Amino acid sequence: MSKPVLATDLDGTLIPMGEYPENVTDLQELKTRLREQEATVIFVTGRFLESIQAAIGEFDLPVPDWIIADVGTSIYEHRGDLKYEPLSSYQDYQAEITEPFPIAKLREELAEIPGLLPQEEEKQGRFKLSYYAPADQLDALAAQTAKIVKQLAAPYSIIQSLDPHGEEGFLDFLPRSISKAHALNFWHEHVDRDPERTVFSGDSGNDLAALTAGYRSIVVGNAEAKLADKVQAAHTEAGWTDRLHLAERAATSGVLEGCHRFGMFG
């Protein structure tokens, strides 16, 4: 039998949150259990690589075997220490999608929209264009930009999400069909691993695709209010009765809770 896989979001999910002091001790238990099972660990996050590498040291996270970064537009393989090498075949795949309409051109088209604030340059990516948006305007801005993308026939999709405290919104423009779920599916095919051995955990809108892709899924207790309902509805519609755990506990503790629920540790 293949080894278990934990694929997890970071902010609001695996990373301990200050308001939940039990997260710190639960992280240590989670690391120990994963090590005992020789589990494969994948970080699946909106962060860029350097930010992920910094977070590993800052929060004493397990060192992942693979990283899916930039909201699913980058895949990296661990090459020792904290060195990671991008998966070139995945980059080539996205380059083919965006060739007719480069992301720089999309950025020009969206430049004058009120309320849409480009994120810092280090948070942009070769295949990811990211913006901040007021939380109370997020839905309206997502609809407005989706209309523009459609009119331009630009090969991009939009993912919206909120920060863990719901005070700030995020809009990410990715190559059409690309998401955390798509990247995770690509990884399974690349390494020829059984998806039935994978557990995915998340807390926000950019985790929705992965939480509803058929993997055993954990929605941590501090997740966005609407997210659990959407995930539950998708699982019900698909006829899955045993692939979702709505954790009572928050963040890191919810991940640990869900891993126990799915029997990852024997």
pLDDT in tens, 198-221: 999 999 999 999 999 999 999 999
18 has pLDDT over 90: yes
Residue type, 46: G
- Looking at residue 164, what is its pLDDT? 67
Question: Average pLDDT of 249-255?
Answer: 98
Provide the b/e sequence for 160-184 (b: ≥16 CB within 10 Å). Answer: bbbebeeeebbbbbbbeebbbbbbb
Provide the b/e sequence for 133-148 (b: ≥16 CB within 10 Å). Answer: beeeebeebbebbbee
Residue whose C-alpha is closest to residue 124's, from 57, 64, 49, 185: 49
10 has pLDDT over 90: yes
The mean pLDDT value of the chain amounts to 96
Q: Write the CA distances from 100 to 126, 155, 179, integer angstroms.
A: 15, 8, 20
pTM: 0.94
pLDDT band for 165, please (50, 70, 90 cuts).
low
Question: Average pLDDT of 225-234?
Answer: 94
What DSSP designation does 64 have?
Answer: P
111 has pLDDT over 80: yes
Pairing mode of beta strands 216-219, 244-246: parallel
Question: How many Cβ atoms are within 10 Å of 105's Cβ, its own excluded?
Answer: 12
- Per the listing, tokens 């990296």 go with 76
100 has pLDDT over 90: yes
pLDDT tens track for 54-90: 999 999 999 999 999 999 999 999 999 899 999 999 9
- Looking at residue 166, what is its pLDDT? 63
Q: What percent of the chain has pLDDT over 90?
A: 93
Supply 219's token pair: 């929605």
